[in-house]
Amino acid sequence: MFACYLYGMENIFYVMLIALAVLAMADLVVGVSNDAVNFLNSAVGSKALSYKTILIVASIGIACGAIFSSGMMEVARKGIFNPALFYFDEIMFIFMAVMITDILLLDFFNTIGIPTSTTVSIVFELLGAAVAMSLIKIFNDDQSLIALFDYINTEKASQIIIGILLSVFIAFSIGALVQWFTRLWLSFDFKSKAAQMNSLFGAISLSSITYFIVIKGIKGTSLIDKKFELLNNTTIVDFIDSNLVVAIVCLTVFWYLSCLLLVVFLKADIYKLIIGVGTFSLALAFAGNDLVNFIGVPIAAYQSYEAWSVSGIAASEFSMDVLAAKVAAPTQFLLISGIIMIITMVFSKKARYVLDTGINLAREGESKERFKPNNLSRFIVRIGIACNSYFAAILPENLKKKISAQFTRTEVKKIKDGKLPAAFDYVRASVNLAVAGILISIATSLKLPLSTTYVTFMVAMGTSLADRAWGSETAVYRVAGVLNVIAGWFGTALIAFTFSGLVLWLIFMGEEIAIAVLLLFASVVIIRNYLAYHKRAQAEAIEEKIKKAESTTFLGVIEESASNIAYVIKRGKIIYNNSITGLSKNDLDSLKANKKQVQKISKEVDELRNDIYYFIKNLEESSVNISNFYISMVNYLNNIAQSLTYTAQICYDHVNNNHLKLRYNQLKELKEINEKFEKDLFNPVRSLFQDQRFDEIAKILESKDELFDFINEKIDAQVKRIRTDEVSPKNSTLYFSILVETKDFLKAVTDLLETYFDCYENNVRPYLK
């Protein structure tokens, strides 16, 4: 009977092992999609290398890291809890809860595009599941709560929390300090500096990165211990540690001479070399050390199963003290993981979404700001401005001028697709990689827990601040973004701990049924998120939008403006029709959806207004006169958007507040206005701008007075109804508001048409004859 029970349980745990393997592969995909920002951020943001080249360099780094990867999956095996106090079935439940939680958590952060720490997530998931299982054992065995400290490695958990706090502050501060002195040294005109100066910077950066590769990327790996041992059983890493100063001096001299030869004789760009090597080093370290975050738990489960299956002991009685021993992970698992990492990095669209978050927060000048300012970000910016004013007041004027000269940059111009050419220059990208490498190397040498995500992100934010990338017009948005990301990091720890403990409890109570339901739930959520993200990405790719001006000539601006006007009129027709139709049907859902549509077009027009500065700066000298036309055109589009916004809002508020429905005559007149606008305004205006038949503008303007008179007739009719009939005050207010706003809308459209026609007649037509 016991043999049958053991055989049945073995099948259950075998199925769990397969499920953990599948979860490990899925976790690699979602994990790499988020952690890719660690080693791609600087290279992609600076555009020092083509994206294809960056992927090749990073892929080589990942492949080497997977080969070098240490098999000692200590965090998953014994870093958080004492495995000797748990039985095999309990350990399997813990590992299953951790993997289900991890994949859901990382997929959530990928979907919203926020970089988080896979190290922190896995650690707190292990902690949450282990605490939950420990509490279950304590209550079942009538133990004291103090026994929890025997089950859990509280010292390790405390170190990690302190490490998070310190890494955020230290990385930001050191990054800002190093970038400030580097820019003071090299300025933005770094390429014109002497070869010796650029070579020295290259030597310092490459020495730091090389040391980082050895200490963080290869240290502790089985390959370095077996293949690179020196005499008297002294490894390369031990030799470097015992002769640190000599090693660093030799490295610096070697790289200085190498860089000097490359610059003088081959005219090579040292900064591209730094960024390439730095990207390789971070990819190597990521695959070589952070691999435990994705496959450490499944491998520990596999090794636990191996030990239990040959023991002949019941799963609920087999102690897991075997996990306390050091056992290397199978090489084939590491290689397969490396291949999955590379494939994910190359093809994951979510990785690009997460990547954009960090790059845009570090971008020089203005960009499409994703995060909205909050009171805390405003307060921090005010404090920063006050501190800057204080130091500016006490510094000598000559010194301030010299410093300002080093921080003076050329104007950032747009390229043809309307995007800024690069988020930051090669110097900042090099400092990002070098400083991140140094900090991670030091922490690794001192055996301090930290997250590579936290370090790389906060270094990038610190260098951005020091480089004056956060100006008065962008600082409040960037600070808000950084605060959101940091809040997400701490949220990761809390959610991971809580949700993992909950999942463990469900698995313990429901066992195989609960596991099946949770796996199905995780699959549904991930597939749903993928499909929703894919659908949204496809919709954004094909969706019409207002296009920012890219042309620098008179005729080009005229043609681009025509396209935007056609788009706004098309959307305006739909929004106005939806407002009237939704109001007549008292359809709250339709009116709510209509509000979102008008908010979208208003946001696009706002972006067009914010881009006026760059539009004027990029114009050719002979086409500067078009500026006045363009500014007027954008202003009219803004007026159109405001009228549509107000109309959509008041219709929604009326229905949402459960006011009386408009009377039959009122609705009938609104539909008549809608039909007349569609026939005499919306359709012809959109058609002529779409086909660029600008000669027909005058014909449409002929019906201007007729349209205004038509609206005035409806206003007069409503006044007469108020005087003779009982009419609801709310209905009358709404009706008048819609009519008045419709007149404002009509005025904005006709003013736009007149301005466009005058510009076309005076500046374009003469050259077409």
Tell me how far the alpha carbon of residue 494 is from its chain's centroid: 20
CA distance 662 to 735: 8
The answer, yes or no, to whether residue 741 has pLDDT greater than 80, is: yes
Query: Of the candidates 239, 263, 234, which has an alpha carbon nearest to the alpha carbon of residue 251?
Result: 239
Please give the C-alpha separations between residue 510 and each of 274, 318, 503, 504, in angstroms, as whole numbers: 54, 21, 10, 10
The answer, yes or no, to whether residue 529 has pLDDT greater than 80, is: no
Percent of the chain topping pLDDT 90: 9
Inter-residue contact 95 to 20 (CB < 8 Å): yes
Inter-residue contact 607 to 546 (CB < 8 Å): yes
- Predicted confidence at residue 693, as pLDDT, reads 83
Ranking 12-26, 126-140, 360-374, 710-724 by mean pLDDT, the lowest is 360-374
The helix/strand/coil state of 553 is coil
- Predicted confidence at residue 237, as pLDDT, reads 61
The helix/strand/coil state of 235 is strand
- Kindly write down the DSSP assignment for every residue of 395-410, as one continuous string: S-HHHHHHHHHHT--P
pLDDT digits (tens, 9 = 90+) for 302-357: 888 888 888 778 877 888 777 766 656 667 777 787 888 888 888 777 677 777 77
Using only C-alpha atoms, what is the Rg of the chain?
Answer: 32
Please give the C-alpha separations between residue 516 and each of 108, 506, 511, 519, in angstroms, as whole numbers: 21, 11, 9, 5
Query: Of the candidates 273, 350, 347, 353, which has an alpha carbon nearest to the alpha carbon of residue 46?
Result: 273
Sign of CA dihedral 53, 346, 105, 367: positive
What torsion, rounded to 10 degrees, do the Cα atoms 759, 765, 767, 769 define?
-170
Average pLDDT in the 731-736 region? Answer: 86
- Predicted confidence at residue 168, as pLDDT, reads 81
- Predicted confidence at residue 215, as pLDDT, reads 63
Average pLDDT in the 152-159 region? Answer: 75
- Predicted confidence at residue 79, as pLDDT, reads 63
Inter-residue contact 81 to 152 (CB < 8 Å): yes
Task: Work out the number of other CB atoms within 10 angstroms of the CB of residue 323.
Answer: 23
- Predicted confidence at residue 257, as pLDDT, reads 92
Residue type, 346: V
Phi, psi (degrees; rounded to nearest 5) at 81:
-135, 170
Angle in degrees, 0-180, between the axes of helices 331-347 and 292-309, rounded to the nearest 10: 150
Ranking 180-189, 409-418, 635-644 by mean pLDDT, the lowest is 409-418
**Residue 231 pLDDT level (bands cut at 50, 70, 90):** very low
Residue type, 631: I
Total number of residues shown for the chain: 769
Please give the C-alpha separations between residue 618 and each of 369, 559, 560, 624, 632, in angstroms, as whole numbers: 21, 17, 15, 9, 18
For every residue of 698-733, which 3-state class applies, written as one string? HHHHCCHHHHHHHHHHHHHHHHHHHHHCCCCHHHHH
Please give the C-alpha separations between residue 131 and each of 49, 141, 148, 491, in angstroms, as whole numbers: 47, 15, 7, 18
Ranking 467-471, 511-515, 610-614 by mean pLDDT, the lowest is 610-614
**pTM value?**
0.75
The answer, yes or no, to whether residue 43 has pLDDT greater than 50, is: yes
CA distance 281 to 60: 10
Higher pLDDT, 288 or 461: 461
CA distance 371 to 352: 18
Q: Which residue has the tokens 């002929």?
A: 702
Ranking 405-414, 587-596, 607-616 by mean pLDDT, the lowest is 405-414
Ranking 6-10, 182-186, 619-623 by mean pLDDT, the lowest is 6-10
* Residue 145 structure tokens: 């709560």
pLDDT digits (tens, 9 = 90+) for 92-128: 888 889 888 888 888 787 777 677 777 778 888 888 8
- Predicted confidence at residue 505, as pLDDT, reads 92
Q: Which residue has the tokens 């007729």?
A: 706
pLDDT digits (tens, 9 = 90+) for 651-669: 999 999 988 888 888 889 8
Helix locations, 87-153, DSSP H: 88-112, 118-140, 148-151
Inter-residue contact 77 to 83 (CB < 8 Å): yes
Average pLDDT in the 727-752 region? Answer: 87
Ranking 146-150, 151-155, 326-330 by mean pLDDT, the lowest is 326-330
Query: Of the candidates 624, 594, 609, which has an alpha carbon nearest to the alpha carbon of residue 546?
Result: 609
CA distance 449 to 79: 11
The helix/strand/coil state of 152 is strand
pLDDT digits (tens, 9 = 90+) for 689-716: 888 888 888 888 888 888 888 889 888 8
- Predicted confidence at residue 502, as pLDDT, reads 93
pLDDT digits (tens, 9 = 90+) for 502-513: 999 998 888 788
Tell me how far the alpha carbon of residue 163 is from its chain's centroid: 23
Task: Work out the number of other CB atoms within 10 angstroms of the CB of residue 272.
Answer: 17
Q: Which residue has the tokens 């979907």?
A: 111
Inter-residue contact 92 to 158 (CB < 8 Å): no
The helix/strand/coil state of 611 is coil
- Predicted confidence at residue 480, as pLDDT, reads 87
Q: How does the average pLDDT of the chain come out, rounded?
A: 79
**Residue 472 pLDDT level (bands cut at 50, 70, 90):** confident
CA terminus-to-terminus distance, the chain: 101
Ramachandran bin of 229, using left for φ above 0, alpha for ψ from -120 to 50, beta for the remaining angles: beta
**Residue 441 pLDDT level (bands cut at 50, 70, 90):** confident
332-336 own/partner pairs: CB under 8 Å, 24+ apart: 333/295, 333/299, 334/66, 334/67, 334/69, 334/71, 334/291, 334/295, 335/66, 335/67
389-396 own/partner pairs: CB under 8 Å, 24+ apart: none
**Residue 177 pLDDT level (bands cut at 50, 70, 90):** very high
Query: Of the candidates 346, 753, 352, which has an alpha carbon nearest to the alpha carbon of residue 569?
Result: 753
- Predicted confidence at residue 366, as pLDDT, reads 65
